[in-house]
Every structure is written in C-alpha cells, then in structure tokens.
Chain A
Amino acid sequence: MELIDGYPPAMRASIALVEQTRPARLGHSFPALSLEARKALLTSCHPDYKAGARRPLRFGPSQGMQVNHELADLFEARPLVRTSLDLSHIDADVDLLVIGGGGAGTVAAIWAVKAGLDPSQVLIATKLRHGDSNSTMAQGGIQAADRPQDSPTQHFLDVVGGGHFTNRPELVRALVRDAPLIIQWHEQLGVMYDKEPDGHFVENPGGGTSRNRMHSARDYTGLEIMRVLRDEARSLGIPVVEFSPAIELLSDGEGRVTGAVLINLETRRYHIVRARATIITTGGLGRLHMQQYPTTNHYGATGDGLVLAYRVGAELVDLDAVQYHPTGAAFPAQMAGLLITEKVRGLGAQPLNALGEQFVFPLEPRDVEAAAFIRECGERGLGVATPHGICGVWLDAPMVDLIHGPGTIRAALPAMFRMYTRFGIDMTRDPILVFPTLHYQNGGVAADEHGATSVPGLYVAGEVMGGIHGKNRLMGNSLLDFNVFGRRAGMAAAAYARAHPPGRLSLAHVAAYEQLLDAAGIATTRTAPRILPDYRGKEALERYLDIPL
C-alpha cells in the first residue's frame, strides 16, 4: 500500500477537507450539550447501553449487577488453587501485604511506613515489574484545585456531574479535599510538574472541568509520578516481589482477610504470605477487551483484584459502567487502541468527521465524547475509513501549534509526537485518526473513604476501588485517585495491622464461593484470575502441544 507521509491516498483526500475548514474553525468550538442531550446520546450510542452486551451477576453480595460478559465470565469461574492447598508453611509473615505494584500500591506502602510500620514488615507483590501499571501510562495530568479562582468545591461539582451524580459523595469529598495536599507531597518528593518561571503550575482544562486545574509533566505525567514514587519506596527499603501476582486471598474462616497466595510466574512455585492487613491495588481490566474493544491498558490489567475480593465477600459498585476513552489511536493499525492523551484536546485540537466538520464539543466528559465519536462513525456514516477496516474521526492536532505557537506539540506532547513519528506520521502537520478505546474501570470494589472494604482486614485503592467516579471518571482524576486513596488506605491499613494480631490462614471462603457457583447452576471449567491475556498467533496455537519438559 502506498502511503503519502504516513497516510493512504483515500485518507489524504479527507485530510484536504480538514485543512480547508481549519481557518474558519479556529476559535470556534462546537457548543457543549445539555444534561438531557448528554443522556440521550449516551443511551443511544455508548457501549455500556448496547443491548446484549451484559448480563447480571448471579450470586454473591452484588448479585443482580449488570456487567459485560467478559467480566461476568471472570466471576463465574473456578479458582486456580484447590481449597486443599497446603498452607502450613508461611513464606512471608508481614504486617501489611500490598497486592499490586502500580501507583496505588506504591503510595499505600510508602504511607503505611510513614504511619509507623517497619519497611521490612511491608511487602509489595506485583504481577509484572514494580511500576508496570496504567499509572505509568497516564499522560495528560492530575487535577487539584489549587489556584485562587478554583476551589475544592468547584472540583467536587465537576466530579459528580461528570459521574452523572452516581458517585459516592464522601469519596468525592476526600478526593477533592486531599488533592492540593497530594501535589504538595509530590513537590517534596521532587516530582517535576510543568511550571512557569515564577513557580506557578501550568494548568490546563480537561473534559468536563470548569476550571483549568490539570497539572502535568509534559505528557509523561504518570510516568514521572510513578518513577519518583518507585524510587522513594526503594529508598525506604520496602521489599517488592515482582512477577508474583496474588491468585487467591487467605481468610481466617470467620470473614477476616489474613494474607494471600502468590505465584512466581516463572517457576510456578506458590508462596504463602500471612499479613495482618492486606491492600488490593491491582488496577483495572482493559485487557479483558470488553465488547472486543482495543485497550490503552498495560499487559497485566485483567481485573484480578475484583475476583479475589468478590470471592472473599467484598461488595462491588458501578462495574456496570466501563470507560471508553474517546481518543484511542485508530491509524496506523500498529497503534490501534493506544492512548492519545486528552491533553491534545485540552490544548485546542478539535474532533472532526470525514468532511472536516465539527460534530461535538471537544471537551465533553469522556463517555459523552466517546458516544459522539461512535455515532459519527456508526449511524451518521461520517467516519474516516482505514485500510485495516476500522473507522475513526480526525483529531486536528496541528491546531495546537497554530493556537499556542510553533513547537508546542513537541514541547508539551513529546510522547505523542514521538509515537506518531515512529510510525511515519507528523502530527504537527497532519491530523491524527482516533476512535474510542477501552480505558478505565469506573467502578470496582466498594470501600469507605479510608479504602476499607466490607471485609475486615481488606483495603483497596486505585482503579480497583469503586464509587469515587460513579459511572464516568474525568481526566486527571485517576492519578489523583490513586494518590489520595493509596495514602488513606496505607495509613488505615497500618493502623489496622497494629491493632490486630496475625490470623489463621484458610481457603474456606473459596470453598464457599465454589458452592455458590454450583448453587447458581454454573458449570464451567473456566478459571480466574486471568493473570495475562493471550495474544499468541492462531497458527502457532493450532499446533501447540502441552508436553512436560
């Protein structure tokens, strides 16, 4: 296929239209929708409302909740270990076990130590490497209402409106109240936020925000925060065991979580960890590929924590809503589904259809924006077709440099610029093609404002925790979320660990869960947690022999 500066001729024809309409569009954005219009668009076009895509949970504390089939499959699955597993040899006996080494887990471990736990009595167990997480991939920014014209109250309104008033308000209060404090903590740790020469943060708008409160570190915001947190945890001497996900929690048989079973992914040897308190920080579920969507998520985002927590009796919330980020890359095929940060729109780039026309306000809340893109490509038939079969809408990236001056894209969006350059596209000159991609688990395990779940001894923080964002999260609130609730859960779990001696270890709750499966008439050989998705080629798998070596 012949490409002209990265694009095939048919797409070039549409780009010509984009260039034609550009001068008239500068400074004129499509108007924002009313709450009613938002709702109508969501119900007609958002994947969460697609008929037949979901089914209710058939048992357990959140019975009746409608979830995507891919997620329901995870709950309706057998455990990876038999309940007769020998638990008598304890490999690690700690005060606090943190399951998941992304942002939330690292923050929780640091604050548990700051709250008085001995670093050697904390253990972070993680599936891949320390820091392999969606946190690292977050690009655009972190919200905090710290400017005089802004306030935590204003932030609160933006969050609950973006979540369609389904958020748990006490969690939102904690989120917005702690936000400036988190930024101050980051400054003390040496996180390099974008600043003016006089020290003021560069603060941008985001979808659904009424004030400019997006703090960023170029478009490597999550990476910058994560690498500093990881360095701090390392400097504090907090032990981390990598490539060792938890595959089951342990309980004392009377409802309290007392540790977990880890597995070394390379040797397949299991390890028993006894812990006075446990925090699940396993992140999200993009790699389940709901409704066959591509995802922005990292390789290990398979929703393990949801399964572990549900098996031990924790309540779930808002898992009926999944976030599809409006701007996943749609071209070239090798980039399909990768995140194009919302900051591109925050800096002024407009979404356009194949005719180069605007069809939606560029900064609606994410679910609304995504639904508008889907409508444009679907029922309106005004999407841009690609040679690999998927359809997308333009994001007029060159507007950023037109509005803010030459060089802005390369200075403020270096990761985006670098990625497109690698695949032969110059986003300072040409628009980029986008389509919604599976991005975030809005809901999760229900918890109070200290991350405590309904199960004693079990805490959650970060993406695995639900209720903060309701049915839809705004940009910049996930980096904030894992810091705020990681910190709170770390301190609360440390206090719990000091007050409670180690408990007995059993898998009684897993046996009980299997009985629930049987009672619900679910006969399956599927197992969960999933741990990693399988992208092996069909041809190779057809001739795969599972022989002992």
Chain B
Amino acid sequence: MSDGNGLITMQLMGKSYQVPSGLTIMAAIEYAGYKLVRGAGCRGGFCGACPTLYRRDGSHRIFTALACQTLVEDGMCLVQMPFVPLLTRPYDLQAIVPQPNTLLQHFPEIAGCVACNTCARSCPQGLPVMDYIQAALRGDIERAAMLSFDCIACGICSSRCPADIKHYAVGLLARRIYGKYLAPPAPDLARRVAEIAAGRYDAELDALISLPAAELRARYEQRSFEAVADGAEPYSATRRYNSPMDPVDYQDELAG
C-alpha cells in the first residue's frame, strides 16, 4: 500500500517489498536488494532479457511487460521470466528456396495456431503476433517479415501459446528469407564492391594516408557536402522503412 512517503508495496515472487514509486520494475527489484544476473540485459527495451509476468488487484488477468520499460505499481504481484527454452532445427539460408510452404516446413507447429491472440495480447512491443503467424501459415513471407520486424525475441508470446509456437523464431526466418530473396537487390552495391575488389580506391586511400597532417586537414575542410539544404530530400515518409503498417493507414488515422 502507498504510505504517503512515496513508497509503494510490490510483491516480488510472493514477498512484499516497499519501494519508491516512479521506479521501473527492474529498478524496484534492485532497490529491494536483488543483484540481477539473469533478467537484465540492455536495460533499454532492445534485448528482451527482462520479460516479467504480473497480476494486479481487480483483474483476473496475467499481464506481461519488460521490467526495464514499465513502471512498478502499488500492489503489483510479479515474477521475472528470464528464459524461454528454444530449440530449432538448424537451416542453411543459402540453400533455402522460398516457397509458400517454406515457413510451414520449418515450423510445422504454426498449423496448430488456434487464433486465440494471446501472443499479441502479451507482446510488450505491441506487435500483431498472431497476424504474422497467420501470414506465415498462408505463405505470405513478406507480410510475416514486416509485421514481426520490431520483435526483440523476449519470448513471452511463446511462453503463453497453447499451440507451443516459437513465434520469434518464425519471424526471424521470415525476415531472413525476405531480406535475402524477396527484397529487391541494391543496384549500386555490387558495382562498388567490384570496384573495391579491383583496387579502384587503393591508390587514393594510400595517398590520403601519406598526406602531411596539414594537407589532410585542408582536404577535410574542403570536403563538399551532399546538400540537404539544396532542397533535395534524401528521405521521405513514402519510402519503405520496413514498416509493419501501410503508410496509407497513417494518413487516414491522422486525417480522422
């Protein structure tokens, strides 16, 4: 209970601790005296090391969160779940021929999806997890790749799935297949790699290395700049940012 001094009570693995309000769950666990070994990684929402399950008063539900990205609440009853076992059959991406059933072949369990949407409801990134599993099942590799892109592989979805699907592994393979086989190849890249292999820049680089310091500084100060100020926009919202959402949706949303 809140005691008026800004302290709240959380239950960590069944024990009550008084901690200051306003801390993240991770900071509250440490405040209580725990030195984390598992259950902490990047501490910034990118690594998926700190999945946490909790209940709160007045709800029958189990809630899920990343401990480093969620504020502790009075009355929270929580436990960290630092690991979800994962075994996948190794694959050689270079030998895969992408077919509509490729993901199903590698992960037959996706056929068992009962469309309960528990995976999406438990995703701390707010991803439409079930939708990308359904896309994978239909053989829509591109959609599975795009919808799963922001996955940090915390594994909460897989721990809650009644069909024992390894969602984050499915998404990863979908993205790798998309990146290698389905995304259009970069036209300039191969040319530049070939130039470098042929030694096209070796003399220029060696010349720079042997320049006296003052001349190198002068070369640096005389660099031409690719003009952003010239009105040339090197980037725009209509370009593709591996976005899980159709940009058109944004327009509608904003207009509404």
Q: What residues of chain A have their CB less than 8 Å away from a CB belonging to chain B? A: 27, 29, 34-35, 128-129, 131-132, 134, 136-137, 145-154, 156-158, 160-161, 165, 169-170, 173, 176-177, 180-181, 183-184, 187-205, 210-212, 217-218, 220, 222-224, 227-228, 231-232, 234-237, 243, 265-266, 296, 298-299, 333-334, 338-339, 347, 401, 403-408, 410-412, 414-415, 418-419, 422-423, 532, 534-537, 539-541, 544
Contact = CB atoms under 8 A, between A and B. Distances in A.
Nearest to A424: B71
A220 B46 contact: yes
B109 interface: no
Contacts of A156: 205, 208
A153 B251 contact: no
Given A154-B223, A183-B189, A541-B33, A189 B69 contact: no
Contact of B46 (A152, A236, A415, A534): A415
Contact of A217 (B32, B46, B242): B242
Ranked nearest first, the 3 interchain pairs of A and B with the lowest CB-CB distance are A540-B33, A190-B176, A407-B250
Which range holds the interface residue count of chain B?
35 or more
Contacts of A152: 196, 201, 204-205
A161 B240 contact: no
A346 B219 CA distance: 24
A411 B243 contact: yes
B239 interface: yes
B189 A184 contact: yes
Interface in B173-230: 173, 175-181, 183-190, 192-193, 196, 201-202, 204-206, 208-209, 213, 216-217, 219-221, 223-226, 228-229
B17 to A, nearest CB: 9
Contacts of B242: 192, 194, 217-218
A536 B35 contact: yes
B172 to A, nearest CB: 6
A160 B237 contact: no
A235 B34 contact: no
Nearest to A162: B220
Contacts of B69: 419, 422
A536 B68 CA distance: 15
29 contacts: A132-B47, A136-B46, A145-B192, A152-B196, A153-B205, A173-B206, A180-B189, A187-B185, A188-B180, A190-B93, A202-B241, A203-B234, A218-B241, A218-B243, A220-B150, A222-B46, A234-B88, A235-B93, A237-B90, A243-B38, A298-B44, A401-B237, A407-B250, A415-B46, A422-B45, A422-B69, A423-B71, A534-B35, A537-B33
B205 to A, nearest CB: 5
B27 interface: yes
A315 B234 CA distance: 42
B63 interface: no
Nearest to A183: B189
B42 A136 contact: yes
A263 to B, nearest CB: 12
A203 B40 CA distance: 33
B171 to A, nearest CB: 10
B33 A544 contact: yes
B47 A137 contact: yes
B43 interface: yes
Contact of B43 (A27, A158, A298, A418): A298
Contacts of A411: 237, 241, 243, 245, 247, 250
Nearest to A192: B179
A405 B236 contact: yes
Interface in B78-113: 88, 90-94
Contacts of A237: 90
Nearest to B151: A227
Contacts of B162: none
A548 B112 CA distance: 49
B164 interface: no
Contacts of A161: 217, 220, 223
Given A129-B47, A237-B90, A299-B42, 9 more contacts: A145-B192, A151-B201, A187-B189, A190-B176, A210-B225, A228-B172, A234-B90, A423-B71, A536-B35
Contacts of A299: 36, 40-43, 49
Contacts of A190: 93, 175-181
A548 B76 CA distance: 31
A410 B235 contact: no
Contacts of A34: 221
A132 to B, nearest CB: 4
Contacts of B190: 184
Given A237-B90, A406-B254, A196 B239 contact: yes
Given A415-B45, A418-B45, A535-B30, A223 B22 contact: no
B159 interface: no
A203 B233 CA distance: 11
Contact of A406 (B24, B224, B229, B237): B237
A157 B175 contact: no
Nearest to B92: A235
Contacts of B49: 128-129, 132, 299
B180 A153 contact: no
Nearest to B96: A190
Contacts of A423: 71
